Amino acid sequence: MGRGRYPARLNVTPPAPDLAARYLQVWSGRELYTSPEQFPLISSPGLFGNDHPLELDVGCATGDLLLALAVQHPEVNYVGLEIVAKPLWRAVERAAAAQLSNLRFLQVDARLACRQIGDGALRAAYIHFPAPLLRNRQRNQILIAPPLLAQIARGLALGGTLSVMSDQPALYAQLLSLLPALPELRPLPTEAWSVTISDLIKSHYHRRWEERGRPILRVELLRV
């Protein structure tokens, strides 16, 4: 069964300039690569001008997870990274409708953006249902890879967590195979996982794969 073309099919228009200025930054990959010093750190001071705890969603699509968390926890900042514009336009619409001030979205390639995460700047990070990118020529675009995981490990504060979910057994196995090289990310026992992100908050993709009977594979890693 196909994995669908959901983000590309969204019927959504770019946000008005005032909403874009409030919620959305577009980071050029070329400029980020050549002149990273021109971009703010991904940190609460860098993106929100305060020192509240910060959580990051890598590949956030329409921001389902972050919108729900941001409403529940106004004292926490949330930032979503997404490479495609349309789902972020929808996420901005929803953030504005809920009048959220603790949420920002970056349209950017997460593989480059994660280098901008401040050391220990994150309380939590999420990589949920990353695209499998099964064709060979897409292999180097995969998110579950050592460089991105190492940057997230560096960006997590001690005691912070990284949650990964996938419906792809091969991708999940790949993650598990990479963990011995990342001893600073230690798998948590199931009973210590955050309840909210599995039982209370389900993204479009989470519900889609569940409805289609796909396995929902998950691990939560503690930064030690």
Binding site for ligand SAM (CB under 6 A): 7, 59-61, 64, 81-84, 87, 109-111, 128-131, 143, 203-206
Q: How far is the CB of 113 from ligand SAM (least distance, A)?
A: 7
201: left (phi over 0), alpha (psi -120 to 50) or beta: beta
Task: Give least dist CB 190 to ligand SAM, A.
Answer: 19
Minimum distance from residue 51 beta carbon to ligand SAM (Å): 26
CA distance 106 to 23: 8
Of 82 and 220, the one with the shorter C-beta distance to ligand SAM is 82
Q: How many angstroms separate the Cα of 79 from the Cα of each of 49, 132, 212? A: 13, 23, 29
Nearer to ligand SAM, 99 or 140 (CB): 140
Three-state secondary structure along 74-132? CCCEEEEEECCHHHHHHHHHHHHHCCCCCEEEEECCHHHHHHHECCCCEEEEEEECCCC
- Given the complex with ligand SAM, which of 66 and 100 has the nearer CB atom? 66
Our CB check for ligand SAM shows the closer of 52 and 204 to be 204
The residue (of 5 and 189) whose beta carbon lies closer to ligand SAM is 5
Helix (H, G, I), strand (E, B) or coil at 183: coil
Closest separation between CB of residue 21 and ligand SAM, Å?
21
Q: Shortest approach of ligand SAM to residue 74 CB, angstroms?
A: 22
Query: How many other CB atoms sit within 10 Å of the CB of residue 82?
Result: 25
Helix (H, G, I), strand (E, B) or coil at 51: coil
